[in-house]
Structure 1
């Protein structure tokens, strides 16, 4: 009866012997660890599951001291090589028997991280719009005064100064408009994400022929709903940012990969979606400094000397308009931006 109950638990439960060999595990454990009970029964668990923290040491300590131990947010590695974050508790039942319980934390950590990202992005948007209002009003006054002054000046050299004032005011106004990004989707229509990616690929190929571009598309992806021109802009901003980082760092054999995948029953923020389109943009550049990774999508933040710090902020704003978001993982030689967009029809 107890075994039947454990088979229906959503918590992963494993039973080990004194040599840390697997005696039994429930279906939740099979799904979590990507293991088949029939194939791994009798094998030592530490040889199947690796990670930054040696699970075998914790299991052996619990067995030797006959005392339960709990590890929080332990980073493990499935036999397939996929990372896994779990809370686990090991409880000695007898000198030669251990009970191991595992709770996955990846989904909860993702929800927490994405909610924090969305909250920060909304706060930045409110502050930026307030700042834009305060800046654009005096800019309009300065521009008008310079134009009136130019009419009354007889000296062409002095008129040149007023034209410089007008041009610089216009540049500042355009900068403020770019910082704000799009306020809403202009056109809501069915769009093919691969057509968008091909447009971006062709633009990058013309601008940077030295970059090798690899495509890895999932042809089964359905159309999503959104604004095609805005989506092109968002993906182009991310791709250009990657290519310019590689160019500035003089990366040997610079390469860019464009990949699409479908993610089923995927959580974005606190909302679970039936189907999500994942667009990955991967480069082999120098990576993003760790100090910049938390503020990467803030306006005016850039890791490049010539960067404006607006491209990624605008891209994130566009994804929010499509109820999606952008994630990033980076280390030297491998930076991956993932654009996640719900495929079901969205509503404002």
Structure 2
């Protein structure tokens, strides 16, 4: 009796550990009846594990015959693991495309069925690309800055010395002034590139709506006519630890980009930027699962991100408008990643949505 209790307790602990996974997991008998569903599967289906217990998993997929055939293959020892794509049915929602993996366990009458949402898989791949891109950007910026700074100082110093020698030649001094001015402009550009890596974070409690209100005030002061900045806040979002000024700069860069993209609509008087905050539950990004995450959307009704730069908008010096430095989105992404978060973009004509995701405690 004691041995049986120890075994059961160990088994319960292993099943409970499945709740830590971001993927949807069902433990079934060899016929596919659910014995255990983890939290992610409960959230996806919209039912508790108590209601799912004993239910045939085949009733919750759009191709039940494929699942039954796969289970029969595992049961007959034809396969140890089977993978295929299907759709998981959900309460009051559209079926969810998933990559389904069936694996046998040490217990002959037990199967572990893992379902990875295809949208989640795509998102994870996109996040990995963004993180790799950010790291590459960081190295590029550092190397570029050091390569530029040293000769730039020499050029500016030489131009100033030449300017002193040519003090009585106004027609030539004009050229040295151009050199000094352009050297200063490049120096400012390099300083902006290095700013996030030089400045030590100032961590304190952050109210995200104070951040949004600060950005809203700045944007409306700069664009007082023809632009509405709409609030759409979830006031239940808790404070979190972060660098307030860095987050203000990140959101301000996104809002500035939106405002400049809306120049035609501002002239017409119907430009709109929406600042929307929401809480997302059981979110996974950066290969980590978080119980809660902040969603902060900066949405505009402008023409959208040009198609030719959509895949490169977070690269440094890539800009969609004339005169743009191409640093705003790069710096915003850097500041958000310092908070273990990331920025995603969904853009089409008439609707561009930059979404900031940051884990919450």
The TM-score range, normalised by the shorter chain, is: 0.7 to 0.9
243-252 or 229-238, which moves further after superposition? 243-252
Partner of 1:159: 173
Larger fraction in helix: 2
Aligned partner of 1:188 among 177, 200, 203: 203
Q: Shift in Å at residue 200 of structure 1?
A: 0.6
Partner of 1:221: 237
Q: Structure 1 residues 34, 178: CA separation in 2 closer, same or farther (over 3 Å shift)?
A: same
Partner of 1:18: none
Partner of 1:203: 218
Matches within 5 A, 1:170-181: 170-181=184-195
Partner of 2:155: 142
> TM-score, normalization: structure 2?
0.71
Q: Shift in Å at residue 170 of structure 1?
A: 0.3
User: Is the aligned partner of 1:317 residue 2:330?
Assistant: no
Q: Shift in Å at residue 265 of structure 1?
A: 4.0
The answer (yes or no) to whether the contact 2:254–2:354 under 8 Å persists in 1 is yes
Q: Structure 1 residues 121, 83: CA separation in 2 closer, same or farther (over 3 Å shift)?
A: farther
Q: Distance in 2 between matches of 1:12 and 1:290?
A: 41
The answer (yes or no) to whether the contact 2:26–2:34 under 8 Å persists in 1 is no
Partner of 1:34: 46
- Give CA-to-partner distance per residue, 1:253-302, whole Å, 9 cap, x none: 32221111223443330233343222111222222244422211001112
SS in 2 for 1:282: strand
The answer (yes or no) to whether the contact 1:86–1:102 under 8 Å persists in 2 is no
Matches within 5 A, 1:160-309: 160-183=174-197, 184-208=199-223, 209-248=225-264, 253-309=270-326
Q: Shift in Å at residue 328 of structure 1?
A: 1.4
Partner of 1:104: 116
Q: Shift in Å at residue 127 of structure 1?
A: 1.3
- Give CA-to-partner distance per residue, 1:6-37, whole Å, 9 cap, x none: x99953599xxxxxxxx999856664233687
Cα RMSD for the two superposed structures: 4.0
Partner of 2:108: none
The answer (yes or no) to whether the contact 1:32–1:104 under 8 Å persists in 2 is no
Q: Distance in 1 between matches of 2:95 and 2:314?
A: 25
> TM-score, normalization: structure 1?
0.74
Unaligned runs of 5+ in 1: 15-22, 50-54, 91-100
Q: Structure 1 residues 110, 181: CA separation in 2 closer, same or farther (over 3 Å shift)?
A: farther
Q: Structure 1 residues 81, 243: CA separation in 2 closer, same or farther (over 3 Å shift)?
A: farther
User: Is the aligned partner of 1:86 residue 2:98?
Assistant: yes
101-110 or 210-219, which moves further after superposition? 101-110
The answer (yes or no) to whether the contact 2:88–2:98 under 8 Å persists in 1 is yes
SS in 2 for 1:231: helix
The answer (yes or no) to whether the contact 2:232–2:274 under 8 Å persists in 1 is yes
Q: Shift in Å at residue 137 of structure 1?
A: 0.8
Q: Distance in 2 between matches of 1:149 and 1:268?
A: 55
Q: Distance in 2 between matches of 1:150 and 1:185?
A: 38
The answer (yes or no) to whether the contact 2:280–2:295 under 8 Å persists in 1 is yes
Unaligned runs of 5+ in 2: 1-11, 19-23, 74-81, 103-112
Q: Distance in 2 between matches of 1:178 and 1:317?
A: 12
Partner of 2:344: 327
Q: Distance in 2 between matches of 1:145 and 1:281?
A: 45
Q: Shift in Å at residue 168 of structure 1?
A: 0.7
- Give CA-to-partner distance per residue, 1:155-206, whole Å, 9 cap, x none: 1222222111101110111122223341144422222211110011111222
Q: Distance in 1 between matches of 2:355 and 2:95?
A: 17
Q: Distance in 1 between matches of 2:46 and 2:222?
A: 43
The answer (yes or no) to whether the contact 1:194–1:217 under 8 Å persists in 2 is yes
